[in-house]
Structure 1
Amino acid sequence: MLSDRERDGVLSGVRVADFSRVLAGPYATMMLADFGADVIKVEPPGGDDTRAWTPPVDARGQSTYFSGVNRGKRSLVLDLTRDEDAAAARRLAREADIVVENFRPGVMARFGLDFDSVRAENPSAIFCSITGFGGGGGAALPGYDLLVQAVGGLMSITGPVDGEPSKVGVALVDVLTGLNAVTGILLALRERERSGTGQRVEVDLMTSLLSALANQASSTLATGRAPARLGNAHPSIAPYELFDASDRPLVIAVGNDRQFAALVGVLGGPGLAGDPRFSTNQLRVHNREALRALIAARLGERAASEWVELLTSARVPAGLVNDVAEAFAFAEGLGLEPVVELGAGAGESVRLTANPIHLSRTPAVYGQQPPDLGSAGTSVDWR
């Protein structure tokens, strides 16, 4: 049985003043709320922009974009252009352990809510600023995920070889930046335990993306040559890409020679076993087109699900190209419990993606549904 502390969450007693909106900041603060932090989401009178991003809507009629990143919070409506509301916001920041904001650089200072102002009255506060391009030369640039995917190089390596550059199908840079914000905040909390003093945490979309480019970034820095688009192929591994079976696509992700030998054993047929062009990964990468043609010819003879079953049994990484609904079903079939349902038995329930971090003793504690606008009450009774 869980103790009261474990039931409350590992971040129980930590208050977050959340001045962020749209995705990166709200995603970060939702992760904190999932582990027990008291997150007070400060919204303008019209609410977070994503409340109006419909369709689709959830069972309560709320924007699924908003509900997907705002569970477990309380909503406090403040018009920061009004002196009374700005004063309430400053009071909230004074009493918070963590302040999170993703306004353009300089906006928080106009209301006395910037890092220096907050630190002057609350030296233990951890102040997290999320920007598109930092507070220097890129301060005036709008921090939209699509823009960062373009100027940050991600689109240049995404899409068909002979097609146009493509964005990823979700605002991935925002999500990555939100995760970096959570990491920075938790690091600052840990340091505060030793010093008793807060500090500023700064993350931005641009460098979050560059860091996440991983091998593509390191190869560019080492060689001075920017990688090109390879469609669904990999620059350093083969076969590691999309193939067509007789009915639908599947992915084969061979990462070493043992897996390739097992792949050959499953596929059979002439032209693969013993061919010196494919004896090592380096040779397979060099001869990827010939290899791809031989594999594709065999895969077209059976349904994708048959191949996946055979390849998986032989310990060759392979899988169907699922849509999002199929992906949830696949995860559920593995016992991963990827969905959390909030409000069941108390009106309209909302199904949301579960927190992916699993702690054995202090797991995520899912509280209330994504908040209605102003659910925390007025500026004077939000406590």
Structure 2
Amino acid sequence: MSAKAPPPLQGVKVIDLTRHMSGPYATVSLGDFGADVIKVEPSKGGDASRSTGVRVQDKISASFLMWNRSKRSIALDLYDEEAKALIRRLAADADVFVENFRPGVIKKMGLDYETLSAINPRLIYVSLSAFGEGPLGPFPGTDPVVQAMSGVMSVTGEADGGPLLVGIPIADFTAAMVTFQGVLLGLLSRATTGRGQKIEISMLHALLSALTTRLASHWATGREPVRNGGAHSVVMPYQAWKTADGYAVAGVWNGGNVMWPRFCKALGVAGLSDEAAYATNELRLQNKAQLEPILADEFRKRTTAEWERRFNQEGVLFSPVNTFSQILSHPHVAQADILASLDHPDLGELPQINPPIRLCDTPGRLDRYPPRLGEHSREILAEAGLSDTEIDTLIDTGVVTTAS
């Protein structure tokens, strides 16, 4: 990156009072593109995700390391009024403040939008919660609860089985990306109006916005969507198939039906594309019970690699169902510069994913490892104008904690 092309969010100061995944993963994206993200953590244990799940070298949560690069950490006793006053002081010249407590909690802390915007009218203030304001607002919710509440679990799983969680934290991830967008929109608006504003985001609302095809079909027909296992809900064929040695996804898309004859040719059943009962996507959906076993029998005759060659030759939608190890070692992932790493002083090299938004002149970059708890407490308070003596006193009284 040249000196003439600083990252797009350079100079943007973010106070990050979020925990777990949805909030921290949103602020990771801000930090990757140059924002100075100050992660405010409770002194005792820090963000709870530091100790949740699998640990790296029995020291710190692997999830925390994924969700908290590109940040600085200050550790405070959040029950102490002096600590809350310090947060207000940090927010006085910040550009963005992000919190993900349940509605009402942040007001009791004296860190609500009305309080902070009175101190800093240019502040972009983001409130992220599981459900937002409303009857569900007071109740706790993380990814599995929101998957269940949103209806996503009701359409995930096999037709004859029970509802299943999506295999990734889809509610957290969706909310994180919507939060990232919200911050950028807030900054863009402020550039025009000169004023900050409050941005409210709920994980439930964000995940409902991702229902797309399932919700469109429900509204069009009035029917409840059902679980389809590995099959697409509105296109046939387009699903996971058992091969001779594994699984693959293959199918057509409904753009003019041009792929159906090519699909049949790749599968070695070219004559099937001429049968009137399967001539259109609508007919194939209607006759799925007859068509699906025919196709499934063919897929079991060859290996996944053989099918990949045949379907790619015909330009038909296809992918092996890869394990994590398989996709991470795939030559495309290497050539597309998707993987990255960071050096951590305690843990060594940490694998990471590069920012997925690729800007040719002002790309994101990974240049700050996930911080130790309170690693930057001193420097952050010094930047806020506190003297060494004042900082020492805050540390001695337990209001502030440092990594040492």
Q: Name the structure 2 match of 1:85.
A: 83
The 3-state SS of whatever aligns with 1:350 is strand
CA distance in 2, matches of 1:107, 1:164: 35
For residues 310 and 64 of structure 1, the distance between their equivalents in structure 2, rounded to whole angstroms, comes to 39
Supply the RMSD in Å over aligned alpha carbons: 1.9
Contact 1:243–1:296 (CA under 8 A) maintained in structure 2: yes
Distance in structure 1 (CA, Å) of the matches to 2:340 and 2:333? 15
Does the residue aligned with 1:129 lie in a helix, a strand or coil? strand
2:193 counterpart (192, 195, 204)? 195
- Partner Cα distance (1:312, 1:61) in 2: 45
2:88 partner amino acid: R
Partner SS, residue 298 of structure 1: helix
Distance 2:302 2:145 in 1: 42
Distance 2:331 2:198 in 1: 38
Aligned with residue 166 of structure 1, among 164, 167, 170:
164
Aligned 1:59-138 pairs, distance under 5 A = 61-138=59-136
Q: Which residue of 1 aligns with 2:3?
A: 4
Q: Flag the 1:211–1:55 CA change in 2: closer, same or farther, 3 A.
A: same
Cα distance, 1:5–1:95 mapped onto 2, change above 3 Å:
farther
Are 1:342 and 1:350, in contact at CA under 8 Å, matched by a contact in 2?
Answer: yes
Q: Deviations over 1:259-291 (max 9, x none)?
A: 111111122247614111111111111111222
Kindly indicate whether residue 279 of structure 2 is the aligned counterpart of residue 263 of structure 1.
no
CA deviations on 1:318-366 (whole Å, 9 max, x unpaired) are 1111111212223645722221111289981211111111111110021
Question: Which stretch of structure 1 is more off in the superposition, 105-114 or 338-347?
Answer: 338-347
Tell me the distance in 2 between the aligned counterparts of 1:30 and 1:355. Answer: 9
Mapped partners of 1:95, 1:110: distance in 2: 22
Q: Is the 8 A contact 1:131 1:203 kept in 2?
A: yes
Q: Which runs of 4+ in 1 moved over 6 A?
A: 344-347
Residue correspondences, number: 380
Quote how far apart the aligned CAs of 1:245 are: 0.9
- Of stretches 331-340 and 250-259 in structure 1, the one that deviates more from structure 2 is 331-340
Match of 1:51 in 2: 50
Equivalence for 1:247: 245
Question: CA separation in 2, counterparts of 1:31 and 1:263?
Answer: 39
1:349 maps to 349
Deviations 1:97-141 (A, max 9, x none): 000000111111122210000000100000000011112222212
Structure 2 unaligned regions, length at least 5:
385-404
The residue that corresponds to 1:21 in the other structure is: 19
1:225 to 201, 223, 226: 223
Q: Which moved more, 1:71-80 or 1:330-339?
A: 330-339
**Alignment partners' CA distance in 2, 1:31 and 1:304:** 36
TM-score, normalised to structure 1's length?
A: 0.95
User: Partners in 1 of 2:369 and 2:78 — Cα distance?
Assistant: 26
CA distance in 1, matches of 2:127, 2:212: 24
Give unmatched runs, 5+ long, in structure 1.
Answer: none
Q: Is the 8 A contact 2:231 2:239 kept in 1?
A: yes
